[in-house]
Amino acid sequence: MKLSNLNLEKHVTPNNNDAILVIDVQNDFIPGGALPVEEADTIIEDINTMTHFFSEKNAKIIFTQDWHPKNHLSFASMHPGKEPGDEFHSEDGSIGPILWPAHCVQGTKGALFHENLKIEHGNLILRKGTNPKIDSYSAFLENDKKTKTGLSGYLTSLDIKRIFISGLALDYCCYFTAIDGMNFGFEVCLIIDLTKGIDQPPNNISNCLKEMDYQGIKFVKMDSIIK
């Protein structure tokens, strides 16, 4: 599935039952960081424009932060003989499907939001991936698919019905957040020009887009929200 083949929503107007999630716009995911996502720097200003717009519409704004202890088991360095990018599947899916370079270590510069990201409109900053033995791609559930982050309860208690997803990386944290968001009963809309992907293993982005489409996730471009 290519971006150009997706059915796009037209004319979407955010309201006070909406939230925008800005996923992991942190130094380590920006070119120059430990786990750089290609062109990730190019979407930051537009994300700022979008969160400002959502705040004017009384929608909620949530930033997530990948926030790993330095001995996190998703790091290749924790597995003798393994390199970043190597396949790895722990029994219950808590770590994998590949290993990463050490990234977003708690308290380091790489874990901070990029300096150009405007967070002042944020209602909530949610940190995830803090358990050394369990990764957390999704902002809703850790990778064991059992441990909640609390986000679903937060959104439900504020009467949020629809979530918009932006940020990094399209085929990991944005993807798993979108799928779990659907499973928790939210309408989910991915803002496709406010996200960039890793595309590892090869074709991962295309497979994720196909699966999101199949699951009923909607796709929208920024200019259908802000006209």
User: For residues 54 and 100, which CB has a smaller minimum distance to ligand VGL in the complex?
Assistant: 100
CB of 185 to ligand VGL, least distance (A): 23
Residue 199: half-sphere exposure toward Cβ, Cα within 13 Å: 12
| 24 near Zn ion, judged by CB under 5 A | no
28 noted as active-site residue:
no
- The active-site residue, picked from 128, 189, 196, 218, is 128
Q: Find the helix or strand (DSSP H, E) in which 55 lies.
A: helix 44-56
CB of 198 to Zn ion, least distance (A): 11
- Report the alpha-carbon distance of residue 9 to residue 218 in Å, rounded: 7
Residue 182 near residue 215, CB atoms below 8 Å: yes
173 noted as active-site residue:
yes
Partner from Zn ion, ligand VGL, none binding residue 21, C-beta < 5-8 Å depending on class: none
Stretch that binds Zn ion, among 63-71, 78-86, 141-149, 202-210 (CB under 5 A): 63-71
Question: What does the binding site for ligand VGL look like in residue numbers (CB under 6 A)?
Answer: 24, 66, 100, 168-169, 172-173
CB of 75 to Zn ion, least distance (A): 9
24 noted as active-site residue:
yes
Q: Which whole-number Å values give the CA distances from 11 to 70, 163, 170, 225, in the listed order?
A: 44, 16, 23, 6
Which of residues 28, 41, 66, 171 is near Zn ion by CB under 5 A? 66
Which of 64, 62, 217 lies closest to 155, judged by CA?
Answer: 62
For residue 31, count other CB atoms closer than 10 A to its CB: 11
Residue 52 near residue 46, CB atoms below 8 Å: no
Helix, coil or strand: residue 143: coil
Stretch that binds Zn ion, among 39-47, 59-67, 116-124, 179-187 (CB under 5 A): 59-67
Residues with a catalytic annotation lie at 24, 128, 173
Which residues here bind Zn ion, judged by CB under 5 A?
66
